[in-house]
Amino acid sequence: MEPFAHSAFRLDLDPRVAHSMRLRADGRAYCDVPANHNDANAIHVLATSFPVIRRMVGEQSFRLMAQLFIMSNPPRFPIALSYGESFPAFLRTQWRVASIEYVADIAELEVARRKAQQAADARPINASVSRAWQAEHPNGVRVILHPSLHVVASRFPIVTIWENNRRG
């Protein structure tokens, strides 16, 4: 049993995805095979992009969230590397449970990590060169942050939660 998925984070079945759900002998629902190959690819992309969220909420709840997201944000073919960046915002709009806020914040952290991994390389400048430029152009020097830098604001200790829920 997935304790998080069945206690703090309970998802009610949405009629839009009821066709893809079946009941087990014990009465619990599970997600069936996605409707088409694109849906399966999109679920795989989301599962790869949000491994900690997937582990936290459990496989069944994650697949349900993914299917709802895919229905409201269908991917283009081929699926872009950025697919799923709006998943945290989607989570916040779908359910009204207290735990969804920190789940969505952790999803934002996972988006930021993926963007950082995919960011273009940028050559940092030497501190002494920077000081020289500032001395020569006191009003004309702008700082451009590295493309991999992202800020995720949260009222929860999301880095600690993320670290405690990742594998290995």
Taking only the tens of pLDDT, the chain with its 168 residues reads 343 443 344 444 444 444 444 433 333 344 444 455 567 788 999 999 999 999 999 999 999 999 999 999 888 877 787 899 999 999 999 877 778 888 999 999 999 999 988 888 888 778 888 888 888 888 877 777 888 888 999 999 999 999 999 875
Range of the domain at 99: 3-121+157-165
> Is residue 106 assigned to a domain?
yes
> Is the N-terminal amide bond of 124 cis, ω within 30° of 0?
no
Task: Specify the number of domains making up the chain.
Answer: 1
Q: Which of 75, 66, 55, 79 is nearest to 2 (CA)?
A: 55
Residue 28 lies in a domain: yes
> Is 36 inside any structural domain?
yes
Residue 19 belongs to a domain: yes
Q: Which amino acid makes up residue 22?
A: R
In a domain, residue 131? The reply is no
Say if CB 163 and CB 134 are below 8 A apart. Answer: no
- Cα distance between residue 155 and residue 121, in whole Å: 31
Decide if 152 is inside a domain. Answer: no
Residue 105 lies in a domain: yes
User: Considering the domain boundaries, does residue 127 fall inside one?
Assistant: no
